[in-house]
Amino acid sequence: MHCLRPKPQRFFWIIIFLFLLGEMVISVAPACGANNDYLKKARDCSRSLYRSKKRIKYRDQWFRCIQAYEKYYQKYPSGRQADEALYATAKLYKNLYGYSRRSGDLNESISRFRKVVKRFPKSRFADDAQYQLGEIYRRYKRDLDRAYVEYFKVVMYFPQGDMKPRAEKRLSELEARMGNRKAPPDLPDLPDLEPTSKGGLARVTDIRHWSAQDYTRIVIDVDAQVEYASHLLRRDPSLGKPPRLYIDLESSALDPSFAGAIPIGDGLLRKVRAGQYKPRVVRVVLDIESIEDHKIFSLSDPFRIVIDVTGESRKRLPPPGKGKTPSLTLAQQLGLGVRKVVIDPGHGGKDPGAVGPSGVKEKDVVLGIAKRLQEKIRAKLNLDAILTRSSDSFLPLEERTALANTQKADLFVSIHTNAHKNRRVYGISTYILNVATDEEAARVAAFENAVSAKRISDLEKILNDLMLNSKINESSRLADAVQQGLIKGLPRSYSRIKDLGVKQAPFYVLIGAQMPSIMVETSFITNSWEEKRLGSSAYQDAVAEGILAGIASYIRQIETVPGRG
């Protein structure tokens, strides 16, 4: 056996490498040592201060320790222990106030504790700093409202922190002391910090609304599903308070960016306001001017709570008497009240809808059909026709129905293409709002609502109450007319047109519509030859013509129906 001897050149490079490594260690070691030395001196200073009954009485002794921590923090602001140094200065100023009683010392402490929370939100000192703010406002400032907010931030933003149990205890104590007083609804001073969702609270992020003379829709956006309960309070003359409808959202917190109150002033509602009613409860209050009825339901993915309030019923123009020849549009002559149709091209923007084998997108197809239908309704029926979207833009489902209601539409037609995992499936169907009658209807609703089958089952449970005032019979009549218009008209130019009939399912986009409303599933975009048709201008025009024929047929039918509405 022979031992391998390194060549002279290899010895040279090994020596050079070891020399350079030694230089690096020598150059780094002093910095690390200096780093730890600064912090050690600061810690020793504060320990010595707190142990000395004599030194603790002198202001300059406090500042010696504060400056020692500041020296470290200023030299290493991004160091591993910069959070500890900053927190230590804040606590020193707080404790100094106990001797000095100078408001400047306490304010400096508050400023530095806030800086710890904002600059080091993931630090083990962040929740301690936030808790200390609550202690300052409770013990020294005697501001219970503000203390409540500061303690609540510990619960909201640091649900996994060790200070949460203490903060919750303080909150319970404050609630008992404050009685009926309410803490401020806002959570200021934390614009850069997001509450953690894991083990934390759902956030109420926004409140949106749409208004008309006799209808208002309020939507409360929440970033997770929560339980909620509503209560209607009648007017209290003794207190001079208006009637109020309020909704309590459990396990939730108000987002810091939310303004807190939204003026409405539409004759139904005065304003909507939100506040942190309890540590884990957000209360949304609707101050009422005058309403006749209200409905509340929730939608999923993302979770939101929808409140529809209504006032006086719409006033319809009386039909013209016999023998009179007033100047009426064709629609008025036929329908005696149908004057406006809202057409809803499904999906759009970031939501492409279903996509065919060759890449044709549902959102593009239905927009093309909707625009053609709008032109035909205006030109051939002389009706007002409005699109919920006229471009490739995203629109939440609840906003589409709200637009139809606020526009006081007489008909609402939502246009979609169907989809199925079996690409051989084809045909045309029209839907109305109701519980699903079969598995296929539930599947279509789940897809269009972008939810699971479980969510559809949950949604059906709340439909019974919502459907009481829905235009089910009229919607069914409209759906039959449109389905027949499509099935009779399309075979003139196209073969293999399959009639899948009129069905019912719980579609989000139809919930709350105050007029006859339908959803048209024009064809299956997942079927290769139906996709090819859907992508062509000629077929889109033919579909629009079929829907138009159905609307015209419906208008003729209702002319002879007594007591309509």
Q: What is the mean pLDDT of each run of 10 residues along the chain (565 residues)?
A: 47 48 41 64 89 88 91 84 92 91 90 90 92 93 84 81 90 76 42 44 90 90 91 70 87 78 86 88 90 85 89 46 41 60 95 91 97 97 96 93 93 95 93 78 74 60 55 89 96 93 88 91 95 97 97 86 48
Give the helix ranges, DSSP H, for 205-341.
330-335
The pLDDT value given to residue 110: 93
Using DSSP bridges, classify how beta strands 252-254 and 244-250 pair: parallel, antiparallel or unpaired: unpaired
Query: Which class is domain 32-178?
Result: mainly alpha
* Separation CA 67–CA 49 (nearest Å): 13
Phi, psi of 386 (to 5 degrees): -125, 140
The pLDDT value given to residue 469: 46
Nearest by Cα to 497 from 526, 529, 457: 529
* Separation CA 469–CA 512 (nearest Å): 9
Pinpoint the residues of the chain covered by CATH 3.40.630.40. Answer: 330-558
Helix, strand, coil shares of the chain, percent, nearest 5, are 45, 20, 35
| Whole-Å CA distances, 304 to 79, 166, 219 | 43, 32, 7
What amino acid occupies position 140?
Y
Helices 82-100, 8-51: crossing angle, 10 deg rounding: 10
How would CATH label the architecture of 330-558? 3-Layer(aba) Sandwich (3.40)
Reported as type and span, the H/E element at residue 441 is helix 439-449
Pinpoint the residues of the chain covered by CATH 2.60.40.3500. Answer: 202-310
- Check if the beta carbon of residue 527 is closer than 8 Å to that of residue 462: no
The pLDDT value given to residue 539: 97
Pinpoint the residues of the chain covered by CATH 1.25.40.10. Answer: 32-178
Residue 26 CA, chain-centre distance (Å), reads 56
What amino acid occupies position 170?
R
pTM of the model: 0.61
| Placement of tokens 């293999």 in the chain | 496
- 3-state secondary structure labels for all residues of 96-141: HHHHHCCHHHHHHHHHHHHHHHHHCCCCCCHHHHHHHHHHHHHHHC
Query: Domain 202-310 carries which CATH code?
Result: 2.60.40.3500
Reported as type and span, the H/E element at residue 94 is helix 82-100
* Separation CA 439–CA 243 (nearest Å): 44
Nearest by Cα to 396 from 151, 527, 177, 217: 217
